[in-house]
Chain A
Amino acid sequence: MTVLDWMQLILISLLIGGGAPVVGHYLAWVFTGPRIAPERWIHRLIGVDPDKPMDWREYAGALLFSNALFFAAGYSLLWAQGRLPVNPRHIAAMSPEVTFNTAASFVTNTNWQAYVGEAQLSNFSQMVPITFLMFVGANTGMAALVAILRGFARSGTAHVGNYWDDFFRFFVRAFLPACFAMALLLVWQGVPQTLSTTVVAHSLEGGSQTLILGPVASLEAVKNLGTNGGGFYNANGAHPYENPTPLTNTLELLGMLTFTASLPFLFGRLTGRSRQGWALFATIMILYALGLGAVEISEKGPNPLLAPAGIAQTTSPLQDGGNTEGKETRLGITQTSFFSNTTMAATTGAVDAAMDSMNPLALMVYFSHMWLNEEPGGKGVGFAGLLKEAILAIFIAGLMVGRTPEFLGKKLEAREIKLAALSLIVTPFTVLLLTSVGVTASFGTSSMDNPGPHGFEEVLYAYSSGNANNGSAMAGLNASTPFYADSIGIEMLLSRYLPLLPLLAMAGALARKRIHPVTAGTLPTDTPLFVALLVGFMLLVGLLTFFPGLMLGPILEQLSLMKGLSF
């Protein structure tokens, strides 16, 4: 690594570490401070009572109801694309399965794209259904998390907050202003924001090229700040109009972490346990940093199979060394590693390089991030998942201090464990069962372009991405077939709501429980020892669940590469 690499590494790390507590504390004010006027206007406009306390069932009901409406609205608008305005190129509607897949994908904050944005969506669709779903999907996750946090903070009540209140507080005071500011910064860096659709460019060779334009900056802002990841263009963040400079690259990856990495501090404020917040932040950052290190090492290394072809893969004054295939030279390896590790860790799914061309070790990191999905994971739900892992880790290890386990003073009993386990098993069930169908059935294998472990990884990746509500793809797999579009569409919906509902139910159970005071016999959960335990537990359970996939995918590919074997 060069000095420049180290400088970027240190600078960005400092920005993350310094910014997260500030944003977290701001969010605490957002959720606990007095309501402001625009929020009241919205409540009055849509006719909801933001003061009505909800128990977990009412909260979950409101969440599901609103999401069903969002899904229906998104689906209808996409379905009607051909008949709607702001469509000068007269783009027709997509196939029903892809329309379903897209609406499911964007309402669940996944942003898996079974379509090509610049070719299949009008500017209206990009602005209205797509951007709308990007906002509400991310907002939903955030509201759910705040309800879950209240379960830990409260005692002796069944109420976990008011869904509409939480939803619009975050939207009005944090999400919308941040997106607005981010869009302006992106426009300053050259990202287009226009209603015109094409521009003709004349190249140096004298040829001409029609470039698609549109309201890119606004979509790009919410794409990253909302850990959405669905790009305006098919090339996503690798496209120069989405991500023109190393500065936008940095801004975008910081955008993905702005709200997600700050959640431990929101948690610290809401529960009055700031040390615990720091411990959870450390857990997230350790896993994030492990991934970053591995990706950087992996991609700075050469692809052994290219060596016989005489391709120079070492760093020189003229070029960045390592596995540069599929990467943008304007960004370089380190920026790409940072971006891709962040997009996978925060399960955004935006990409600024071809994931299909990454070395197997980097792919192993991406798989791990999707399976864990909690470092920091998608907006709100990622952190809720981390709390679930903490509960399970404490339940097993906490017994070893000689008390029935408790977390933040709440006793963990059969109900909590049942709900946490329910939430935990969704990932292995959806990912493994669907992958097993994908790699064996003819309608699954017919979409595969690569044989051997790489082809296997592409299918495993697709379902891992859908499950993690990540949305990135390895490509090399035709995912717009009815089988993949429908199965991934259903998987995204199941993987969004099935793990979330048990956690909301748990919040309901926890909110009722007494908070036990800390004694010398209580397991401290804000110490380095606990962080090590939690990281170890997450890696162990993840490894045990996905060892076959890991072995037959990236590990087999890496070992074969080292022996010079291809498939």
Chain B
Amino acid sequence: MKREKTRFSALGPAALKKSVLMLNPVTLWRNPVMFLVWVGSVLTTLFTLDFLVRHSGEAVFTGLISFWLWATILFANFAEALAELQGKAQAESLRATRSDTMAKLVVGDEVRLIRSTELKKWDQFLLSPGDTVPTDGEILDGAASIDESAMTGESAPVIREAGGDRSGVTGGTRVLAGELRVAVSANPGETFLDRMIALVEGAKRKKSPNEIALSILLIGLSLIFLVVVATLPAFSSYFKTPVSPTVLIALLVCLIPTTIAGLLPAIGIAGIKRAFDANVIAKSGKAVEVAGDIDLLLLDKTGTITFGNRQAVQLLPAAGVSREELARAARLASFGDQTPEGKSVLALAETLLDDHSPVSGVTPVPFTPQTRMSGADSSEGSFRKGSDDAIESFVGHPLPEDVRKTVTGIAQSGGTPLVVVCDKRVLGVIHLKDVIKPGLAERFKRLRAMGVETVMVTGDNPLTAGAIAREAGIDDFFAQAKPEDKMALIKKEQDKGRLVAMSGDGTNDAPSLAQADVALAMNSGTQAAKEAGNMVDLDSDPTKIIAVVEIGKQLLITRGALTTFSVANDVAKYFAILPAIFIVNFPALGVLNVMKLATPETAVASAIIFNALIIPALIPLALKGVAYRPIGASALLRRNLLIYGVGGILAPFVGIKLIDMGLVAIFTRMG
């Protein structure tokens, strides 16, 4: 779907306003590290006011520090506000399509027109061609062709019908043909879309498990730095070198991991939003996170790996029969056949013959469970196609040796052979086969590189299943599977400690979806499936789960990279501030001023300005996410450690030095 990319210029002012409102300490308390900065900001502001009242020259330095401390919080708030507004803007753009529609509510025997926003769960409404679906629901009666392009961007209409696995309708889509009676699946404010909006809203947002663990670590580190800074006045008094509270606060703020603490909420929200960019609605932040951990991906064969139906791919004539003769016979035998397989035989034969003219003078003989054949009768004879044993009983003698060999060959390769006869004469074999969706093999290879194993689940016999698995590049397959087997398979793998992902749409899938660690439900699927899954794909594309795994990994990498960067930054800030404090009494410590910062004041100010500016500098990375490459865990770690670890140690040395030079230039100009 082509949603408008929300422009920064549109959200910037709103985000700025929101970030000022978020200076409220009650809100900030949710983020203890930033709360510490808030305390520091308030204290330095009070010091500045005090110096101003007393006309002390220290007001300039203290004021400067105070200003940049407030800026640090504002920048962090801005990151969160921007991420939140971006996510909401996207959700709102979707919701806008459904808010102003009218619904034909069924009340007893009559139908009443009400606003879609007044619909409650379990209410029933009617849909006719041309109607916009007022809200998410499940079809109770009828079948219809529906245009879902507003939701999915897919222009081809889809069929939705009662009773099957494709009984869900989505608010905002349009009925093209057919009549439906639909039950509302969620109260207003509780639809998946509403839930997603809640996920990105700062105040209501629940932290994901990994985010909680990381927050605890950040608090632990902050406690350590708090005691480091709190004991420094005692040390400095022993060395008879007084240190101002402003400098102590600046040191504390530089050391506590403000960068990652400031960006952490934005990273989480952006992860959910990235899933949404892929048209996947995550029901929790945890779902996106766990997606990165998946070890095993269960994929249904039909509809996920292969197109739904078998297709004719080859015509293999019997000895003494020409290919044209077989093609003609196959065409006649399939002429009245409306099954997808039959249509594909017709299409293949017509391509081979280059003859698309209508056939006349034949009587179609449809497939029956008794004959297990279909075909047509014409003046030239009775053309039939069917399985080898059905044909054998039709012709009354075993198949010729060469045809038998062809049949066995096709069966062994995982295909389905259909033997074609005209009266008693065996003409050849049609090779029907599952056609694998293009591009899957590369995606499975990518998954393997990520450490995700793929398993195909199918009702087919092991021979067919194995052949398709090999062709699609799937690691393993589970053949002759019944719906309940999938559940058992998931449990078995989970007992081995593996995390399992799957996608599904049917009511049969619901228990497995609930059991799987990551479960992507198709939006076209039943309500039960959508409730059981922890993500819903608006495009109803089962292979989307692969993209979801990458989004999860990207989220975790971004979190780790920025944490590493944040902690590594501390080294340079120490080298800026600590010598500055003691250098007056101990000139020998000048050696530690490796950046050759101009004065103790500019050194402290440069460090705190760098600490503030690094947050907005990293906002784009936090929102976009660190790129994920499936190059193996070791290579990935080495790469990211170099960039964010070693880079994190070096970058602030350069940054602080540049800011110091800038400050010196400004102060010299000002005199």
Decide: A414 and B452 in contact? CB cutoff 8 A: no
Query: Does B564 reach chain A (CB closer than 8 Å)?
Result: yes
Distance, CA A552 to CA B265, complexed state (A): 38
Query: Does B52 reach chain A (CB closer than 8 Å)?
Result: no
Distance, CA A400 to CA B564, complexed state (A): 9
Query: Does B570 reach chain A (CB closer than 8 Å)?
Result: yes
Decide: B574 and A547 in contact? CB cutoff 8 A: yes
Chain A 401-436 interface 0/1 with B at a Cβ cutoff of 8 Å (1 = within)? 111100001001110111001101100110011011
Contacts of B495 in A (CB 8 A): 514
Decide: B213 and A439 in contact? CB cutoff 8 A: no
Q: Quick check: which of B301-309, B403-411, B551-559 contacts chain A, the rest being far away?
A: B551-559
Decide: B498 and A516 in contact? CB cutoff 8 A: yes
Distance, CA A456 to CA B237, complexed state (A): 11
Contacts of A414 in B (CB 8 A): 209, 212-213, 216
Decide: A401 and B557 in contact? CB cutoff 8 A: yes
Decide: A400 and B293 in contact? CB cutoff 8 A: no
Query: Does B614 reach chain A (CB closer than 8 Å)?
Result: no
Give the residues from 511 to 559 in chain B that come closer than 8 angstroms, CB to CB, to chain A.
552-554, 556-557, 559
Distance, CA A404 to CA B271, complexed state (A): 14
Query: Does B255 reach chain A (CB closer than 8 Å)?
Result: yes
Decide: B568 and A540 in contact? CB cutoff 8 A: yes
Distance, CA A155 to CA B495, complexed state (A): 11
Residue among B234, B498, B499, B570 making CB contact with A544, cutoff 8 Å = B570
Contacts of A548 in B (CB 8 A): 228, 231-232, 235, 578
Contacts of B231 in A (CB 8 A): 432-433, 435-436, 548
CB nearest to A516 among chain B residues: B497
Query: Does A119 reach chain B (CB closer than 8 Å)?
Result: no
Decide: B227 and A403 in contact? CB cutoff 8 A: no
Decide: A533 and B224 in contact? CB cutoff 8 A: no
Query: Does B238 reach chain A (CB closer than 8 Å)?
Result: yes
Decide: A417 and B213 in contact? CB cutoff 8 A: yes
- Contacts A421-B217, A424-B224; A456 near B238 (Cβ below 8 A): yes
Chain B 401-442 interface 0/1 with A at a Cβ cutoff of 8 Å (1 = within)? 000000000000000000000000000000000000000000
Q: Quick check: which of A236-244, A329-337, A347-355, A553-561 contacts chain B, the rest being far away?
A: A553-561
A6 to chain B, nearest CB (A): 32
Give the residues from 97 to 119 in chain B that come closer than 8 angstroms, CB to CB, to chain A.
none
Contacts of A425 in B (CB 8 A): 220, 223-224, 227
Query: Does B292 reach chain A (CB closer than 8 Å)?
Result: yes
Query: Does A398 reach chain B (CB closer than 8 Å)?
Result: yes
Distance, CA A445 to CA B644, complexed state (A): 44
Contacts of B496 in A (CB 8 A): 517
Decide: A400 and B232 in contact? CB cutoff 8 A: no
Contacts of B552 in A (CB 8 A): 402
Contacts of B578 in A (CB 8 A): 547-548, 551
Residue among A402, A418, A536, A562 making CB contact with B556, cutoff 8 Å = A402
Residue among B214, B230, B451, B553 making CB contact with A520, cutoff 8 Å = B451
Decide: A456 and B235 in contact? CB cutoff 8 A: yes
Decide: A524 and B295 in contact? CB cutoff 8 A: no
Give the residues from 488 to 505 in chain B that come closer than 8 angstroms, CB to CB, to chain A.
495-499
Number of interface residues of B (CB under 8 A): 75
Distance, CA A396 to CA B578, complexed state (A): 26
Contacts of A520 in B (CB 8 A): 448-451, 632-633
- Contacts A520-B451, A523-B633, A551-B582; A545 near B237 (Cβ below 8 A): no
Query: Does B334 reach chain A (CB closer than 8 Å)?
Result: no
Contacts of B217 in A (CB 8 A): 392, 395-396, 417, 421
Contacts of A424 in B (CB 8 A): 220, 224
Contacts of A418 in B (CB 8 A): 213, 216
Query: Does B289 reach chain A (CB closer than 8 Å)?
Result: yes
Residues of B at the A interface (CB closer than 8 Å) are 209-210, 212-214, 216-217, 219-221, 223-225, 227-228, 230-235, 237-239, 255, 289-290, 292-293, 295, 448-453, 495-499, 552-554, 556-557, 559-561, 563-564, 567-568, 570-571, 574, 578-579, 582, 586, 588-589, 591-592, 628, 632-634, 636-638, 640-641, 644-645
Going nearest first, the 8 A-B pairs with the smallest beta carbon separation are A521-B451, A399-B560, A402-B553, A421-B220, A436-B234, A519-B451, A520-B451, A400-B560
Would you give 12 A-B contacts (Cβ < 8 Å), ordered by A?
A: A395-B217, A396-B217, A402-B292, A409-B497, A424-B220, A519-B453, A527-B634, A544-B225, A548-B232, A549-B235, A551-B589, A559-B588
Q: For the A-B complex with A436-B231, A440-B237, A533-B637 known, give 16 more contacts whose Cβ atoms are closer than 8 Å.
A: A395-B217, A399-B556, A400-B561, A404-B290, A404-B293, A404-B556, A414-B209, A429-B227, A456-B239, A521-B295, A521-B553, A527-B634, A544-B574, A548-B578, A556-B589, A565-B588
Residues of A at the B interface (CB closer than 8 Å) are 155, 392, 395-404, 409, 412-414, 416-418, 421-422, 424-425, 428-429, 432-433, 435-437, 439-440, 445, 456, 514-517, 519-524, 527, 529, 533, 536, 540, 543-545, 547-549, 551-552, 555-556, 559-560, 562-563, 565
